Amino acid sequence: MKYLYAFTLVTLLLSLIADRKKTWQALKIACKRFFKIMPPFITMLILVSIALTFIPNKVILAVLGGGEHNRFLGMVLGLILGSVTLMPGFIAFPLCGILLKKGVPYMVLSAFSTSLMMVGVLTYPLEKAYFGSKVTIIRNAISLLIAIIVAIATGFVFGEIAR
């Protein structure tokens, strides 16, 4: 993470050297956007934290596949929840971090986050209006298949699925 911060600082300094005025304009825009998304971000984190506080860890692990036999069921549940949930990534990824600390397997989190970003069950009517039913269904089906493949691959990489 330190390397990312150093890289950002170096590129910011290079940008300042190249064109000070444009860099300051960009920083102002970035700050405005940051402060615009901060209230909903904090609100969602608080709500998620409260919900996770009241739901016992045993329940979370039982539902989302903490046991050896529940991993695939947890993955399917993660795929379903991700497909029907509308949540921006800047909220979903910290949620996945919290669930990971509670013991939810990587493959379940991978299924949830990948399907959340790629599959849009709730956005189907909007997509259908722009792209048509056929394209929307094909896109969602391919996205769901990719989410399944990514989740299974994640399970292999992290040793959650026996080879």
Strand, coil or helix: what is 158?
coil
> Model pTM?
0.71
- State residue 32's pLDDT score: 95
Choose among 64, 72, 71, 121: nearest CA to 98.
Answer: 64
Phi/psi-derived region of residue 110, left when phi > 0, alpha when psi is between -120 and 50, beta in every other case:
alpha
pLDDT confidence of residue 50: 83
Sign of the Cα torsion 82, 97, 51, 103 reads positive
Containing structural domain, residue 12: 1-38
Per-residue pLDDT at 163: 63
Q: Could you tell me if 137 and 99 lie in one domain?
A: yes
Is there a single domain that holds both residue 59 and residue 115?
yes
Q: Please list the ranges in the chain whose pLDDT falls under 50.
A: none
Q: Two tokens at 140?
A: 């969602």
Q: How many domains does the chain have?
A: 2
Report the pLDDT value the prediction gives residue 91, as an integer from 0 to 100: 81
Residue type for 106, please? Y
Whether residue 43 lies inside any domain: the answer is: no
Distance separating alpha carbons of residues 157 and 162, to the nearest angstrom: 10
- Please write the tens of the pLDDT for every residue from 24-66: 999 999 999 989 888 877 887 787 778 778 878 777 777 777 6
Residue 162: inside a domain, yes or no?
no
pLDDT of residue 70: 74
Residues 72 and 23 in one domain: no
